[in-house]
Amino acid sequence: MFLIDLIMDIIAFFCIYAIITLSLNFQQGYTGIFNLGLYFPIIVGAIITAYLPGRLAMVIYGLDPKLDFSANNALVLSILRSKLSSDPVTSIALLTLTLAAVAIVCYIIGFLSSYPALKLPADYLALFMLCAGESLRVIGMQTDWLAGGVMGITIVNPFWWLGGYSYYGMASFTIISTILIALLYHRLCESPLGRLLKSIRENELTAESVGKDVNGVKRKTLAFSFTILGLAGVLHAFLMGAVVVGGYTRVDFSFWPWLMMIIGGTGNNIGVFLGTFSLVIMRRIMIVGKHYFWFLPFNVVWFEPILLAIMLMVTLVFRPEGILPERSPKIRDYLRKVLKLES
Amino acid sequence: MVSQTLSAGQNLELEKRPLLTVKNVSKRFGSFYALQNISLTVPEKTIALLIGPNGSGKTTLINCISGVYWPDEGQILFDGKDITEMHVHDIVKLGLVRSFQVPAPFKKMTVAENLLVCGQDNPGENFVSSLNRSRWRASEKESVDKMFKVLKTVGLEDKVDTLAGELSGGQLKLLELGRLLMLNPKMMLLDEPIGGVNPVLANSILSHIINIRNEFGTSFLIVEHRLDIVMKYVDYVYVLSKGNLIASGTPSEIVERRELYDVYLA
Amino acid sequence: MVPSPILLTALVYSFILSLLAMGFTLQYITLSVPNLAYATIAFASTYLTLTFSLMNLSPYVAMPFGFLLGGAISFMLYKFVAFLRNRGTSIVGLMMATIVFDLIIYASMNIYADYLAYVFKLYAGSFSLSEFDFEIFSFPAVLFISGLTSVGLVAFFTLMLVKTKFGVAMRAVMENFNLASVHGINTERILSIAWFFVGGTAGLSGSLYPIWFAMDPWVGARMFISIFAACVIGGLRSIYGSLLGGFIIAFSEVVVTYFLSLYFPWIWAYRAVTSMVIAAFALVEMPSGIAGLIEKLRRG
Ligand SMILES: Nc1ncnc2c1ncn2[C@@H]1O[C@H](COP(=O)(O)OP(=O)(O)OP(=O)(O)O)[C@@H](O)[C@H]1O
Ligand SMILES: [Mg+2]
């Protein structure tokens, strides 16, 4: 049983990170949008997941309006749990609504933030997104009614009706969502859109001079990736069963994904998948292994950023193009596979 | 001196409708005038040549026309529309395209991809319709056919799968031209299209330009230093020096004016 | 009227922030790589200040050590980035290299904080050292010391740029890196010295920070927002613009949030966020910042 739990846990976390790194690759590897603030939309997703479904359920089940989801978190949740355990329809409706709300909000935020961001040179755009993410994290930590502030908040599980298998329910949903999102990215990247994005990455002025609205496309790319990243935030929050905004750090939710992408191979979705897989396994093993270091006079978690740094450094120096470097399709393969032409 | 040559230009204008009109355009970098009060026209179905010594402002003029820079003063009309302060991609949509003096390819993409990406209005480049192959297959096939024709024209057939970053300088010039040929424009601005290309291929490219003009009625404004090769292909010549337009006329008129050679050599 | 503790806070903060913003911009101009480890380097020296205070020494003893620590880390970072750049690493790779340093310093700081807590049996997660400060004319000394440091360093830097041979060479490097190296200027040496000096300045400012403000290992990450905002307001590539930007951001963070907090008491907690909002608006309305504004005025 323990083994199954561990495997399920690894797969679920791999899925979350796969969604994040694929979105990163879509921005950086394809379009050349240098975004260091991946955790910005993820936090948006997590905050909405902390705020919305619980309160909606309270309204639906007509709970005492004097109760507050955040202030009376434990009490409210125990009531909601008993109600939702026998109500799969409402549970799934809550999940769907949350996903939809996050998708819409993140799309809008991505679109709006592109207005200041695209006025900056690429390197400062990266800083802009990083600072935006950090600001949102500060807001989340300071605002108790939003997502429980520093202490965090426990949230509903849309699969309580599965009884003892509710974690498996959420994990399976995460896995299915990841497969769908991966297929979506694959489709986008191998279509003419993928080629257009790469041309923008390679040379914006040339892309403009063959009639492409570079800023328009970048704006849509940013908004689209924000949407998907927001969904990753939702899945992560539901999977954890709680939201602690302070835990969404730039190290865990921006720099690790960056390392995963670079190690895997920037611009190559399969490589990025591989990079994500190996690093997620490594990190999970480390979490188990850290109990053996209880004797040190400091917390071992601080080895993780150092390890990340060393791996990043080694990759930058020895294999900057990653395990599976980017590949361009041969025209014959392209005609045969994508256009179904023989010539 | 100038008026005499300009009258020849006006004759040209009377015969054909003007396609590109540049009116009193000036462009400053800081306090330095790279272009000063430039006016010229290129009628339809015409191949015009723009010459001048290094640093005389030819590329700057191309940049102003194509929307890379917006001029500080003056006006630019194309096909009856004011394009003075339009964005580069919107100008391309009107049918006015340009190549770069220093080739600017998509380096980590193959030659084929470099050309295919030039297809216009491909539904596959849209976020929603790109997901459904049947919606973009037809226009993609069209681009592929066109691409093979263009490759043949510029003689890059055997480089179709090569990354653009691995091409030689001359081949890059050819790719630069190929990209424009993909776009079916009304007019092309070519910044040194045969720089570094061997004379045989250069002549064949120029005759191809003549063919395009005759077949589709496309106009050209060509910047080129290799006058020996290019002069016999063009209809009209403009001469820039230090940001000023100092002469214009038919190639035979320009060739006769000895003093222009001194400008070039100075 | 603005009550004097608020004004004091604003002043001390603006001295520190403007110095930091200027250093960040300077490093950015010299290498065209934003140094993501910059704030972390600056605030690593806060732990020196803490250590000296714990040893019952004046917190100001930390200043020279902060300078050396910041300078040394910054120098090493420069060497690493320059090594990668000579191999043709892209801007993305170079920024990742600065992240490498950011992570290592950040982790080491936390390990050291844990260690201090273990040895001195205290919680070093969050601390303020204002009680170790002394008074001059019944004002806290940190006001004068941070002010003098800031003014002194800017003056020193300006004189150096204008008067010395090194300064002339440095200006050449900042204006055109390739041209400067063609003209036989030893760009490597100039830049390593510049990065040492700038990193040192950052470390020095960081060592002053906990004498007035509450401090924790995450302050670097938060302050980075303010430094970023100050540089954006300054116009990204203007040293004196970012200096001004630092003052503007510091004052609006402290004074504006103070006045707003009279009506919206909760807003005080969002001080760091204010600067992000200001930066975003500034980008939409005047993307070239103060430098662009001055350029426009000069042109008439
Ligand atoms: N972006 C710019 N900023 C400042 N000065 C510029 C800029 N672009 C061009 N110039 C200056 O404007 C003048 C004209 O340059 P331009 O490139 O148009 O010359 P050109 O006629 O194309 O020369 P060549 O035959 O060498 O290509 C030159 O003195 C150049 O230094
Ligand atoms: Mg030129």
In total, how many domains does chain C have? Answer: 1
How far apart, in whole angstroms, are the C-alpha atoms of residue A13 and residue A25? 18
CA distances from B44 to A30, A289, B16, B187, C117 (A): 39, 76, 6, 8, 81
Residue type present at position A50: A
Buried b (16+ CB within 10 A) or exposed e, C92-125: bbbbbbbbbbbbbbbbbbbbbbbebeeeeeeebe
Across the 300 residues of chain C, what is the mean pLDDT of every consecutive 10-residue run? 76 90 89 89 89 82 89 93 89 90 91 83 68 72 80 86 83 77 78 90 89 81 88 86 90 86 79 83 80 78
Which of B97, B105, B140 is nearest residue A192 as measured by Cβ atoms? Answer: B140
> Contact B107/A220, CB-based, under 8 Å?
no
Q: Is A191 on the interface with B (CB under 8 A)?
A: yes
Both tokens of residue A322? 């990653």
Mean pLDDT by 10 residues, chain A (343 residues): 76 92 94 92 95 89 83 86 88 94 96 88 87 90 83 89 86 93 93 94 94 94 96 94 90 91 91 92 79 72 86 88 86 82 64
**Whether domain B2-95+186-265 has CATH 3.90.180.10:** no
- Determine if ligand 1 sits within 6 Å of the CB of residue B34: yes
Tokens linked to A255 = 């720099």
Going by C-beta distance under 8 Å and a sequence separation of 6 or more, which residues neighbour residue B81? B94
Q: Do the beta carbons of residue C68 and residue C203 sit within 8 Å?
A: yes
What digits encode the pLDDT tens for the residues B142-156? 999 999 999 988 888
Q: Which of residues 29-88 of A touch C (CB under 8 A)?
A: 34, 36
The domains of chain A are located at 2-248
Model confidence at B265, pLDDT cuts 50, 70, 90, reads: low
Confidence category of residue B13, pLDDT binned at 50, 70, 90: very low
Residue at token pair 């951001």: C249
pLDDT at A298: 72
Residue-level pLDDT at B180: 92
Q: B105: how many CB neighbours lie within 10 A of its CB?
A: 23
What length is written for chain B? 266
Map out the domains of chain B as residue ranges.
Answer: 2-95+186-265, 109-184
From the number of C-beta atoms within 10 Å of its C-beta (0-12, 13-18, 19+), residue B158 rates as exposed
Evaluate: CB of B241 within 6 angstroms of ligand 1. Answer: no
User: Would you state the pLDDT for residue C105?
Assistant: 92
Q: What is the DSSP string of A78-101?
A: HHHHHHHTT-HHHHHHHHHHHHHH
Please check whether residue C145 lies inside any domain of the structure.
yes
Which C residues 59-118 touch A at CB under 8 Å?
80, 84, 89, 91-93, 95-97, 99-101, 103-104, 106-108, 110-111, 114-115, 118
- Give the span between the Cα atoms of B89 and B170, in whole angstroms: 26
Q: Is residue C296 part of a domain?
A: no
Question: ipTM value of the model?
Answer: 0.88
Contacts 24+ apart (CB under 8 A), A312-316: A312/A255, A312/A258, A312/A259, A312/A262, A312/C96, A312/C99, A312/C100, A312/C103, A313/C80, A313/C97, A313/C100, A315/A259, A315/A262, A315/A263, A316/A262, A316/C84, A316/C89, A316/C93, A316/C96, A316/C97, A316/C100
What residue ranges in chain B does DSSP mark as E strands?
A: 18-29, 32-43, 47-51, 73-78, 81-82, 96-98, 187-191, 219-223, 236-241, 244-249
B229 in Cβ contact with B199 (< 8 Å): yes
Query: How many residues in total does chain A contain?
Result: 343
pLDDT at C3: 63
Per-residue model confidence (pLDDT) at position C124: 54
Across the beta sheet with B32-43, what order do the strands follow? B32-43, B18-29, B73-78, B81-82
**Which chain A residue is nearest to residue C103, measuring alpha carbons?**
A305
